């Protein structure tokens, strides 16, 4: 028997940029359906997608990276029988799936094909091939939101994307094959530069406007507001620290042990600031957790609810790999915390004073 949400409430929708495109405030993140961080079989993946659909989620985010195409295949098989106008789908470009004898990607995306891997390609032709391959896996003839994916993993990728990938993306939008253009990153700085390109409708920002880290308020959010660029947020749990903070949890995909700073630096997810350390983030997360417990709330619930106060945030993408996770997240989204809880966090300087809380 599939999980169901007995107290179903409609999930709100918000607009993307200046477009006639609306996404549900909760988006279904499909990296877990591609095998990160644990394997998910076909049946469980389908049940998770069905539960999301049956409980009002109409925005699905995926990427070629997730399981070397496996997540896109699974999403495509699920959505093929749905009315096209009833859902919004986003995918990404910047990587091409290739055949291989031994997949390194399969070491990260557990259960994904051992004969498939990826390579970065931010060229014009690379984007066109990536897009066509995604359409085939998704069984669609159009993608609603197309995101430039991780152009910060190599010093040359940003300029390659500007001279190749972005031009291809604009062409796809002009041809009506894409409705909105976006970019998915884990850092603020490059998105500030990309906002100046003048072609993006939204940014998929992971980890920088969360209950724990509001650094996007410094420069990114002001430039997005002035250019009417919507934010879609990923990583609202900051890789797990905002579910259960401990030295065994993760922040920005790096384990919060004594090697956290060096591990994050080497990963190229983003460059940590000098003041950052595992101890710094764990202390902050645990202080917020203590406030949550005093208000009879969970850290996870607060993490889900925090971003929506800011009108520039259109949706939060939550990675889910089971029906129970879907139901729990929707319940946490719907059962609102009191205003004095948020004010207390601000008074204690546990969230940035500029954060919107009502």
Residue of 73, 74, 65 whose CA lies nearest to 94: 65
Structure pTM? 0.95
Q: Above 50 in pLDDT, residue 5?
A: no
* % of the chain exceeding 70 in pLDDT: 97
Question: Active site includes 352?
Answer: no
Looking at residue 7, its pLDDT comes to 42
Q: Which of 61, 121, 152, 332 is catalytic?
A: 61
Nearest-angstrom CA–CA distance, 233 and 184: 9
pLDDT tens digits, residue range 234-250? Answer: 999 999 999 999 999 99
271: tokens are 């460059």
For residue 255, is it within any domain? no
71: tokens are 């997540």
Q: Which of 15, 20, 59, 66 is catalytic?
A: 66
Question: Active site includes 59?
Answer: no
pLDDT tens digits, residue range 36-75? Answer: 989 999 999 999 999 999 999 999 999 999 999 999 999 9
pLDDT tens digits, residue range 135-180? Answer: 999 999 999 999 999 999 888 999 999 999 999 999 999 999 999 9
Q: Above 50 in pLDDT, residue 10?
A: yes
Long-range contacts of 102-108 (CB under 8 A, 24+ apart): 103/68, 105/65, 105/67, 105/68, 106/35, 106/68, 108/35, 108/36
Q: Which of 14, 92, 116, 300 is catalytic?
A: 92
Query: Residue 219 — pLDDT band, cuts 50, 70, 90?
Result: very high
For residue 349, is it within any domain? no
Please give the tally of structural domains in the chain: 1
* Under 8 Å between Cβ of 113 and 59: no
Q: Above 50 in pLDDT, residue 1?
A: no
Domain containing residue 172: CATH number = 3.20.20.100
For residue 17, is it within any domain? yes
Q: Averaged over 300-309, what is the pLDDT?
A: 98
For residue 292, is it within any domain? no
For residue 3, is it within any domain? no
pLDDT, averaged across the chain: 96
Indicate the length of the chain as a whole number: 358
Looking at residue 6, its pLDDT comes to 47
Q: Averaged over 175-187, what is the pLDDT?
A: 97
Residue 310 CB contacts under 8 Å (≥ 6 apart), including other chains:
209, 221, 231, 355, 356
Q: Above 50 in pLDDT, residue 256?
A: yes
For residue 278, is it within any domain? no
Q: Above 60 in pLDDT, residue 295?
A: yes
Looking at residue 309, its pLDDT comes to 97
Question: Active site includes 255?
Answer: no
pLDDT tens digits, residue range 76-134? Answer: 999 999 999 999 999 999 999 999 999 999 999 999 999 999 999 999 999 999 999 99
Q: Above 90 in pLDDT, residue 9?
A: no
pLDDT tens digits, residue range 312-353? Answer: 999 999 999 999 999 999 999 999 999 999 999 999 999 999
pLDDT tens digits, residue range 199-214? Answer: 999 999 999 999 999 9
Q: What is the span of the domain harbouring residue 225?
A: 13-248+300-340
For residue 332, is it within any domain? yes
For residue 353, is it within any domain? no
């Amino acid at each position: 028997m599939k999980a169901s949400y007995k107290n179903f409430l409609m999930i709100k929708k918000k607009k993307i940029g200046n477009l006639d495109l609306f996404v549900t405030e909760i988006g279904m993140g499909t990296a877990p359906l591609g095998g990160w961080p644990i394997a998910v079989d076909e049946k469980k993946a389908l049940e998770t997608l069905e539960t999301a659909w049956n409980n009002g989620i109409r925005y699905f985010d995926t990427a070629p990276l997730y399981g070397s195409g496996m997540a896109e295949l699974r999403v495509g098989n699920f959505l093929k029988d749905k009315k096209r106008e009833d859902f919004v789908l986003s995918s990404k470009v910047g990587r091409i799936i290739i055949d291989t004898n031994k997949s390194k990607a399969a070491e990260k995306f557990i259960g994904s094909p051992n004969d498939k891997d990826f390579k970065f390609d931010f060229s014009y032709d690379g984007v066109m091939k990536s897009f066509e391959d995604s359409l085939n896996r998704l069984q669609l003839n159009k993608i609603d939101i197309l995101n430039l994916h991780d152009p910060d993993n190599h010093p040359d990728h940003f300029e390659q994307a500007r001279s190749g990938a972005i031009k291809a993306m604009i062409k796809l939008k002009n041809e009506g094959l894409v409705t909105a253009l976006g970019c998915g990153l884990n850092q603020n700085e490059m998105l500030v530069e990309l906002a100046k390109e003048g072609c993006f409708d939204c940014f998929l920002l992971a980890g920088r406007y969360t209950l724990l880290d509001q650094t996007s308020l410094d420069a990114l959010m002001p430039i997005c507001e002035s250019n009417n660029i919507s934010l879609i947020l990923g990583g609202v749990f900051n890789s797990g620290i905002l579910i259960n903070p401990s030295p065994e949890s993760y922040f920005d995909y790096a384990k919060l042990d004594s090697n956290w700073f060096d591990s994050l630096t080497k990963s190229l997810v983003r460059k940590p600031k000098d003041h950052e350390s595992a101890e710094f983030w764990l202390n902050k997360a645990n202080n917020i957790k203590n406030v949550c417990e005093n208000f009879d709330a969970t850290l996870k619930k607060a993490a889900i609810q925090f971003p929506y106060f800011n009108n520039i945030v259109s949706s939060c993408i939550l990675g889910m790999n089971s029906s129970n996770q879907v139901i729990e997240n929707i319940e946490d989204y719907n059962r609102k915390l009191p205003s004095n809880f948020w004010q207390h966090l601000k008074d204690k300087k546990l969230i940035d004073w500029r954060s919107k809380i009502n």
